Chains A and B, each alone.
Chain A
């Protein structure tokens, strides 16, 4: 039986999500046994031509070239899974979507005319059909392995879309919002990180993006009671998943 072929693609990103695969030290060789790592430029020079059975796509679309390239990736891939906040929600670079990109370019570059970029940073799903979106900035190792496992066995990945609070409580961390008045995005943020931040004595900053049906308005009023300003709310909602619809819309209501 021939092994399924895996390809790892990079768009605008920090490389952290694809590094997560290399960070699975204990499982890496098993993964390589179960699937052919056919295209993964960060880790290998060798390259097996497509089509690929599974494509992991990291990063968002920010250039005209990438907007075209993603269609080619889709064409070459049986299943396409986006990995991380960039690919799933546009990433931190989507903060440009609220600004004038020309201003942005001139802040960073002396010769803006050399820079080709789009006005917006957009998630992969705005360009092509996506089979599964894995959240997190960065993604969790455990969940990445679950997605690969599910794919190899032709099943749906078991990635509960609950709030971070579920994991926080399972972990036994006393709620930082209740016990210390520290603002926390946990109740509206997608689980998967094993409620890391509260366990380290800080509020969740939403790096996994919105949970299902997040009640941002209710959490927002509570935050204000804890002393947060509208601008604090805008900043908190607009980080790595700011362009996810639920966070985006809510942040816009706090802007005025």
Chain B
């Protein structure tokens, strides 16, 4: 006799923000599955109306304490788009360098503090530190390195104060940047070792055929700007976003679900970037990926932890390259004056594509704002992963199933604070 089961996780741990999961099973059959975001809404898009265009980077940074630079960058891009300029030269390099700092910090946090404990069976990194003191010490040092890049360029690691539309308030001297080079060099070799460690974790046999979406740039592994491309051949400019994507509002979540108008869910984030752009990785990152057994693309979401590690390697190598070529610009920022119009901006947040769109009045006041964070784009994909994952594993005992499903959610490093405009898991097994 098969019994209906319910598995409910009311408060998902080790994700940024508040979310929950609900699963209702009858035998092997999934009756209902919801990935809920109950993080209370904060209405950024509403109160951005009436603010000055120049305030958008500082205000939208507060959407997320984990990836403020992503918000600042997408907002700046949008305002610069409206002002008819695109950042280039050393100011763009600095923006990329700051962003790399955020990637390192955020990825290290996720890989070692939020995700690795799942694979190794620990509650948290502090417990993990008892058995793996060196790995945790290395992780802390890498995380600090990412933070110190943000502090140097942004003033502080959370909600940097040095980012403005058109560039920065103050640019660092070459000597200030060069001071972090030895630590970056250490970091590069440590990250390569860490990737090997991560590659050795036990991964469930699980693949899905995703529609990946990410930015692509002709000359580099895209972060701060580029065109939006997908695995099925979409290739559009950022300003074409509204024509190809749509958001819908489901009852169980405070985060909007995004989908391709052409139909169906898609997947943004490290796996998408890697799968679409792996040929553009820096040499050491490409080596680390192939040593870790990754092919040109990656479709096992549990292996996203390897992809993140590879991106850490990339970020460190790329940072060294940027510092090497840096010449301090004559002025920290270029003047941007949007005289009304619409601004679109996107960038690759650690968790994936982050799109901003603003309507700006002629006097520079924001008339309308629209922000699509990575986690809301991934919501459907997460639900689909969960559904697919349960299939064939429904016989697992509740606590094991719950642990693995939570892990499947954490594969996305979901940032729920961002998505709200978004974890707890409930599994209902219904007697049938």
Contact = CB atoms under 8 A, between A and B. Distances in A.
A217 interface: no
Contacts, number: 185
B113 A22 contact: yes
Interface string B39-81: 1111111110101100100110011111010000000000000
Contacts of A14: 62-65, 68, 417
B161 A62 contact: no
A235 B52 contact: yes
List 10 tightest A-B contacts by C-beta distance, closest first.
Answer: A16-B65, A46-B123, A44-B124, A104-B46, A95-B47, A25-B144, A93-B42, A107-B46, A110-B249, A45-B13
Contacts of B126: 28-29, 32, 37, 43-44
A193 B123 CA distance: 33
A125 interface: no
B-side interface size class: 35 or more
Contact of B41 (A13, A25, A43, A115): A115
Q: Secondary structure of the A side of the interface?
A: loop
B320 interface: no
Given A41-B11, A96-B47, A25 B147 contact: yes
Q: Secondary structure of the B side of the interface?
A: loop
B66 A19 contact: yes
Interface string A31-65: 01000010011111111000000000000001100
Interface stretch (B151-159, B285-293, B337-345): B151-159
B46 to A, nearest CB: 4
Given A43-B125, A201-B170, A15 B42 contact: no
B91 to A, nearest CB: 15
Interface of A: 10-20, 22-23, 25-26, 28-29, 32, 37, 40-47, 62-63, 66, 91-93, 95-96, 99, 101, 103-105, 107-111, 114-115, 117, 121, 137-138, 193, 196-197, 199-202, 205, 207, 235, 239-240
B158 A19 contact: yes
Contacts of B421: 108-109
Nearest to B123: A46
Most buried by B among A10, A23, A26, A138: A23
Contacts of A197: 155, 161, 169
Given A43-B14, A44-B126, A16 B159 contact: yes
B3 to A, nearest CB: 27
B87 interface: no
B129 A22 contact: no
B187 to A, nearest CB: 13
A63 B40 contact: yes
A193 to B, nearest CB: 8
Interface stretch (B15-23, B202-210, B267-275): B15-23
Contacts of A111: 249, 251
B40 A62 contact: yes
A62 B42 CA distance: 8
A239 B62 CA distance: 10
Given A32-B126, A45-B117, A46-B124, A105 B161 contact: no
A197 B169 CA distance: 9
29 contacts: A12-B42, A14-B417, A18-B65, A25-B143, A41-B13, A43-B114, A43-B124, A43-B126, A44-B124, A44-B126, A47-B13, A62-B41, A92-B47, A95-B43, A96-B47, A99-B46, A104-B43, A107-B46, A108-B46, A109-B41, A114-B254, A137-B62, A197-B155, A201-B332, A205-B161, A207-B159, A207-B161, A235-B55, A239-B55
